[in-house]
Every structure is written in C-alpha cells, then in structure tokens.
Structure 1
Amino acid sequence: MDKNIEQLLTLVAETNDLLIEKYPELSSTVGLLEQSLQASNAVTINNIKRNLKLMFIILDAHPDIVGIGTGEAGTEAFTFIDQSLLSDLTSEVVMQLAEKYIV
C-alpha cells in the first residue's frame, strides 16, 4: 500500500473511532477503495444508518493532494466539496467534515 493512502487510512480510522465515542448511536464504517476511480485511491467514512459517505481521494498524479467529497454509501456517487494537502489534514479537520456531512 502506498504510504500516502496508508497515512490517510490511519487518520480516517482514528477519526472514526472518535466519532463513535462522541456519537455512540452512530453506525459508521471506514472503507478503502484502491483504484476506485481512474488512477486514484480513496478512503471513506460511511454512515450506515443515513446511507451517506464522506470520501477522501488521492489521485496518483497528485499524491500529496486529497480531494474531499460526499455521496451515497455503497455507490460511486460523489460530489466534490473541497481539496486539501494531505499534510494539512488532521483528525480535527476530518471530524468537522464528518459532523457537517454525515452525522
């Protein structure tokens, strides 16, 4: 696994643990979609009850930039909302995004 996607997966998984602590009723999972879109990898947080996902995509051509979007869990539906340098993503940033889009 590429070091950037591994770093992103770890960050998102740790944030999901914090989400579950803060929102015990939340039913969420973390997913890894390798080569999910052409020349990209993605990590998702899925809210199973609301059928929503928050998706973080790293394109092979730009491995230090993370595209962020939302969509319907279990589908490839994706609405781009922002992008960030991987180095700027923190658990706090991911938590704020999750609370805004999937909680």
Structure 2
Amino acid sequence: MNKNIEQLLTLVAGANDQLIEKHQQLSTTVGLLEQSLQASNAVTVDNIKLKQRLMFIILDANPEIVGVGTGKAGTEDFVFIDQYKLGALSAQVLIELMEQHLLS
C-alpha cells in the first residue's frame, strides 16, 4: 500500500469513528479498494442500512489529489462531487462530507 492511500485510510477511519460517536445509531463500514478503477486506489465508507457509499479516490497519475464521489454501496457506479488536496483534508471536512452524504 502506498503512503498516500495509507494516510487517507487512516484519516477516513478516524473520522468515521468520530462520526459514529456523534451518531450512535449509524452503522458504517470503511473499506479499501486497491486498483478499484484504472490506475487508482480508493477508500470507501458505506452506510449499511441506507446502502449509500462515499468514496475517496487517489489516482496514480495525481497522488496528491483526492477525488470524492457518492453512490450506491455494493456497486461501482458513483457520481463525482468534489476534489481536495490530500494535505488539506481534515477529520472535520471528512465528517461533514459523511454527514451530508451518508445520513439521509
């Protein structure tokens, strides 16, 4: 696992833990999809009950940028919604994204 995807996975998992503390009824899983799309790695957060997925993608060609997409858990279909510099992502930004896309 490269250092950028490892850093992203650690950040997303920590934010997910904080989200669950805040919303104790929430049931989510964090996963790693290595080479999920052509020349990319992704970290996913799935809301099990609502079957919603938030995906954070790092393309091999641009390893400092994290693309964010949302879609249906268990599928490869997703809609790109934004992108961030990896160094600018914080737990707070991730929690806000998760609350916006996984709670409703």
**TM bucket by the smaller chain?**
over 0.9
Provide the C-alpha distance between the structure 2 equivalents of 1:77 and 1:24, rounded to a whole number of angstroms: 28
Match of 1:27 in 2: 27
- What is the total number of aligned residue pairs between the two structures? 103
Match of 2:41 in 1: 41
Q: Show structure 1 runs of 5+ residues with no match.
A: none
The aligned amino acid for 2:102 is: I
Provide the C-alpha distance between the structure 1 equivalents of 2:96 and 2:16, rounded to a whole number of angstroms: 12
With structure 1 as the length reference, what TM-score do the two structures score?
A: 0.99
Aligned to 1:50, what secondary structure does the other structure show? coil
Q: Show structure 2 runs of 5+ residues with no match.
A: none
Aligned to 2:17, what secondary structure does the other structure show? helix
Provide the C-alpha distance between the structure 1 equivalents of 2:49 and 2:9, rounded to a whole number of angstroms: 22
Match of 1:9 in 2: 9
1:10-56 deviations in whole A, cap 9, x for unaligned? 00000110111011110100000000000000001100000001100
The aligned amino acid for 1:79 is: V
Percent identity, please.
66
Provide the C-alpha distance between the structure 2 equivalents of 1:58 and 1:88, rounded to a whole number of angstroms: 14
Provide the C-alpha distance between the structure 1 equivalents of 2:73 and 2:12, rounded to a whole number of angstroms: 16
Provide the C-alpha distance between the structure 2 equivalents of 1:91 and 1:54, rounded to a whole number of angstroms: 15
Provide the C-alpha distance between the structure 2 equivalents of 1:3 and 1:70, rounded to a whole number of angstroms: 24
Match of 1:98 in 2: 98
